[in-house]
């Protein structure tokens, strides 16, 4: 597993900080809680997609592309980071966006990530909920080709083996930091969506036999379907980096208890977690991913799943730009 074999563009601020959350730890009166600040990857407000994009953009350039395309929800953090990376590298960017939320208000449709997409100069293409997004992206790519462009298609969330390399590398970075700090992690927990983050982390940690169990808190799918998707990508990624078979099925674990009514729909637990982390730690979580994952972490501590004496690592995957898109819901939570 030599990641230096793969082309990479450098624009992330790495390594991201590893911090102990003392006030949250004291408040919950359980395990010691740590946070890995992948919200601080630097590019255009940062987030977890930036690590993936270092490899995806390098692949695009190696293949001679002059235009990148990707898909996502209106408030996709991945779309925003792709637009930022494209601007940085002088590539054109087309974002194929799905209106996944039906009660969308002005803030959701105009502020947050979508405002930044336009700031970075990306071209936006809107499609209704339920559209076959891969097909819609292909259609836009065909139009780019017809006009003489050379498109490179990035799947939703940047989740394929090339993108997942960013999180294989995260595992190496994390273990180096843990060694440096002399901390043994008992569990790692983070929000899982399109699966590249969890797949990459699991390949890295299992490839190195780090013995750190990983728990993905889902934001959309059921536990079963999420685990299936992560496992498939982990296998493909392990093959790709040359550690075929490194990931046993039992290393892929998800929990879908904190999704609520659906993708991007606020839950009371998410709102409480976002408010708590802001007030106790000055950490800004996001409403769609890290807020729900932190709700899960807090609940699992309260239920005694994670206990005193353990070191639990929360990976902050970013997404704060979406806070502004959820202004009405957050306003209500702040006033409670
Ligand atoms: C995309 C995203 C995730 C999920 O990562 P995947 O690799 O898609 O599973 C988690 N948190 C935030 C803030 C994201 O934008």
Whether the pLDDT of residue 64 is over 90: the answer is yes
Confidence band of 63 (pLDDT split at 50, 70, 90): very high
Whether the pLDDT of residue 202 is over 80: the answer is yes
195 touches ligand 1 (CB under 6 Å) = yes
SS3 content of the chain, % helix, strand, coil (to 5): 50, 15, 35
pTM summary value: 0.97
290 touches ligand 1 (CB under 6 Å) = yes
286 touches ligand 1 (CB under 6 Å) = yes
CA of 146 to the centre of ligand 1 (A): 33
Which percentage of the chain shows pLDDT scores above 90? Answer: 96
Q: Which residue's C-alpha comes closest to atom 15 of ligand 1?
A: 77
**Residue from 56, 55, 57, 19 nearest 37 by CA:** 19
289 touches ligand 1 (CB under 6 Å) = yes
Q: At what angle do helices 268-281 and 327-335 cross, to 10 degrees?
A: 70
Res 100: pLDDT: 75
77 touches ligand 1 (CB under 6 Å) = yes
290 CA: nearest ligand 1 atom: 11
Digit-coded pLDDT (tens) for 219-275: 999 999 999 999 999 999 999 999 999 999 999 999 999 999 999 999 999 999 999
Stretch 107-129: mean pLDDT: 96
* Mean of all residue pLDDT scores within the chain: 97
Whether the pLDDT of residue 309 is over 80: the answer is yes
Known catalytic residues? Answer: 76
Ligand 1 binding pocket mutation candidate from 37, 41, 73, 157 (most atoms within 8 A of CB): 157
Peptide bond into 15 cis (omega under 30): yes
Number of C-alpha atoms within 13 angstroms, CB side, residue 217?
Answer: 27
Q: Which residue's C-alpha comes closest to atom 8 of ligand 1?
A: 194
Which percentage of the chain shows pLDDT scores above 70? Answer: 99
CA of 147 to the centre of ligand 1 (A): 33
Whether the pLDDT of residue 205 is over 80: the answer is yes
Res 104: pLDDT: 76
Whether the pLDDT of residue 218 is over 80: the answer is yes
Q: Residue 226 is encoded by which pair of tokens?
A: 């999420």
Res 1: pLDDT: 86
112 touches ligand 1 (CB under 6 Å) = no
**Gap between the Cα atoms of 330 and 262, Å rounded:** 17
CA of 70 to the centre of ligand 1 (A): 15
Digit-coded pLDDT (tens) for 93-110: 999 999 877 667 999 999
């Amino acid at each position: 597993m030599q990641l230096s074999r793969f082309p990479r563009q450098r624009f992330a601020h790495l390594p991201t900080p590893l911090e102990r959350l003392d006030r949250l730890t004291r408040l919950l009166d359980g395990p010691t809680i740590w946070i890995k600040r992948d919200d601080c990857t630097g590019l255009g407000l940062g987030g977890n997609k930036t690590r993936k994009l270092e490899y995806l953009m390098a692949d695009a350039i190696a293949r001679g592309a002059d235009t990148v395309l990707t898909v996502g929800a209106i408030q996709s953090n991945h779309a925003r980071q792709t637009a930022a990376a494209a601007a940085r590298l002088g590539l054109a960017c087309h974002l194929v966006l799905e209106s996944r939320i039906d009660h969308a208000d002005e803030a959701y449709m105009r502020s947050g990530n979508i405002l930044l997409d336009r700031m970075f100069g990306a071209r936006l293409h809107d499609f209704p909920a339920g559209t076959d997004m891969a097909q819609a992206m292909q259609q836009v790519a065909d139009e780019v080709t017809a006009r003489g462009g050379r498109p490179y298609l990035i799947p939703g969330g940047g989740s394929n083996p090339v993108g997942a390399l960013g999180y294989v590398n995260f595992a190496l970075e994390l273990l180096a930091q843990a060694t440096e700090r002399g901390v043994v992690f008992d569990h790692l927990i983070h929000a899982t969506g399109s699966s590249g983050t969890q797949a990459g982390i699991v390949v890295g940690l299992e490839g190195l036999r780090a013995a750190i169990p990983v728990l993905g808190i889902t934001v959309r799918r059921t536990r079963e379907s999420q685990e299936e998707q992560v496992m498939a990508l982990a296998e493909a990624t392990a093959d790709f980096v040359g550690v075929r078979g490194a990931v046993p099925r039992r290393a892929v674990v998800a929990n879908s208890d904190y999704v609520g009514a659906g993708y991007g729909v606020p839950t009371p637990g998410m709102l409480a977690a976002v408010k708590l982390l802001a007030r106790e730690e000055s950490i800004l979580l996001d409403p769609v991913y890290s807020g729900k994952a932190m709700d899960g972490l807090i609940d699992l501590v309260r239920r005694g799943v994670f206990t005193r004496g353990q070191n639990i690592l929360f990976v902050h995957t970013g997404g704060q730009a979406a806070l502004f898109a959820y202004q009405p819901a957050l306003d209500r939570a702040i006033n409670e």
